[in-house]
């Protein structure tokens, strides 16, 4: 198949920042792209060959869009999987597959998948409704503390809450959910696995994530993770086993906990380019976005090792600001060594909304981490 400067059409469901970064590489390769998103302001609008407006959860919108392309991929999980299944039957190549996405979309199904495939994960209970949890606590079927997660539509700190007392259940939506044992972990790690249609597999180096205490969002992604080689190998083995179980095509980001006794437990996975791989644009031989394209188009996978140490800082909307975005002090951070800002093109900011990221590269990872902290303190995402 000739993908380059040809009639081939790649469809992308979702027009957010991940799609925008993917389009940098489709433009590099001159691959014709069509994007579907519900917002006319989507970051992808300016960089795709064709931009279509439509709801990603709407069967007809997804099906009719998918019929016009040769290969379909997605940059967000909230997509109508029945439409994807119908498109596969109609001969459209969908990567990762509808089957993979169906399992991952629902956190309870995802957790059961790990159990069924002997993949290590924290113990959990499944509830049809949040309101059933209090009964389970009263009758000893569940004990505090635990992590409440809605099974669907949770991302970036929404749909997740640490429950330490019964009062913490107040105000949670009454939806299908899981209650997961609170893992006293030392570290949160992630490994991105790329797998192409032929089954060739490569992993990026293990990264370590430092979280914001309140927002439940990643503040820093550090590559490589500051862990012993033996633990890194263990994390990569778990990621490869997970990829094999899903038999996925494309990227699979495997987020994990490293417990106090050095056990690796899978937290959750994402079947797409991921926040834990943004530093690959500047720090690696092949970025996660180029690798995703290589995988879904069944091209040979690129080198995954890092050229330099990399730290990624998320740029999120400052608290107390909503409206037309203003980025303060970008020139000041660009004055620092090895700093590259990525601005996603969202015109409206609100507290904790992901507006961009900054990558800091340095031969010395500790130095990169120090600069990252300076970046974090200097740049402000506010409104007019």
Please give the annotated binding residues, written as ranges: 107, 149, 180-183, 188, 267-268
Annotated binding site for ATP: 107, 149, 180-183, 188, 267-268
Q: What does DSSP say about strands 207-211 and 9-13: parallel, antiparallel, or unpaired?
A: unpaired
Distance CA 351, CA 320 (A): 6
Burial class (CB in 10 A: 0-12, 13-18, 19+), 133: buried
Give per-residue burial for 224-250: e unless 16+ CB within 10 Å, then b.
bbebeeebbebbbebbbbbbeebebbb
Q: Sign of the C-alpha dihedral, residues 167, 168, 170, 176?
A: negative
Distance CA 146, CA 309 (A): 35
Q: Are 369 and 66 in contact (CB under 8 A)?
A: no
Distance CA 265, CA 78 (A): 25
Distance CA 76, CA 42 (A): 13
Q: Are 39 and 62 in contact (CB under 8 A)?
A: no
Number of H helices, E strands in the chain: 11, 21
Question: Which residue reads 């993949």 in tokens?
Answer: 119
Give per-residue burial for 35-45: e unless 16+ CB within 10 Å, then b.
bbbeeeebbbb
Going from the C-alpha of 137 to that of each of 125, 149, 164, 177, the distances in angstroms are 11, 16, 12, 15
Give per-residue burial for 286-324: e unless 16+ CB within 10 Å, then b.
bbbbbbbbbbbbbbebbebebebbbbbbbbbbbeebeee
């Amino acid at each position: 198949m000739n993908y380059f400067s040809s009639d081939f059409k790649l469809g992308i469901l979702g027009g957010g920042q991940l799609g925008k970064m993917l389009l940098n590489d489709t433009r590099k390769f001159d691959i014709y792209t069509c994007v579907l998103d519900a917002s006319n302001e989507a970051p992808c609008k300016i960089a795709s060959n064709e931009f279509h407006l439509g709801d990603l959860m709407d069967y007809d919108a997804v099906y009719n869009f998918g019929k016009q392309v040769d290969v379909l991929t997605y940059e967000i999980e909230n997509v109508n999987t029945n439409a994807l299944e119908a498109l596969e039957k109609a001969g459209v190549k969908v990567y990762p597959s509808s089957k993979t996405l169906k399992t991952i979309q629902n956190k309870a199904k995802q957790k059961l998948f790990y159990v069924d495939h002997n993949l290590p994960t924290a113990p959990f209970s499944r509830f049809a409704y949040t309101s059933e949890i209090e009964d389970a606590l009263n009758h000893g079927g569940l004990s505090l503390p635990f992590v409440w997660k809605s099974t669907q539509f949770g991302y970036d700190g929404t749909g997740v809450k640490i429950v330490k007392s019964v009062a913490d259940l107040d105000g949670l939506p009454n939806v299908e959910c899981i209650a997961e044992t609170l893992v006293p972990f030392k570290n949160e790690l992630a490994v991105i696995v790329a797998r192409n249609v032929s089954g060739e597999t490569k992993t990026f180096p293990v990264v370590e994530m430092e979280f914001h205490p309140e927002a439940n969002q990643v503040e820093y992604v550090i590559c490589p993770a500051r862990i012993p080689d033996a633990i890194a190998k263990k994390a990569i083995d778990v990621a490869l086993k997970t990829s094999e179980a899903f038999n996925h095509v494309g990227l699979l980001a495997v987020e994990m906990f490293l417990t106090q006794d050095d056990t690796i437990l899978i937290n959750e996975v994402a079947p797409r380019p991921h926040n834990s791989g943004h530093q690959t644009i500047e720090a690696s031989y092949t970025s996660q976005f180029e690798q995703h394209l290589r995988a879904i188009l069944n091209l040979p996978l690129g080198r995954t090792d890092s050229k330099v140490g990399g730290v990624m800082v998320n740029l999120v909307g400052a608290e107390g600001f909503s409206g037309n975005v203003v980025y303060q002090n970008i020139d000041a951070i660009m004055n620092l060594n090895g700093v590259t800002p990525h601005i996603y093109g969202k015109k409206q900011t609100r507290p904790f909304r992901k507006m961009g990221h900054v990558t800091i590269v340095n031969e010395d990872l500790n130095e990169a981490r120090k600069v990252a902290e300076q970046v974090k303190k200097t740049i402000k995402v506010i409104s007019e």
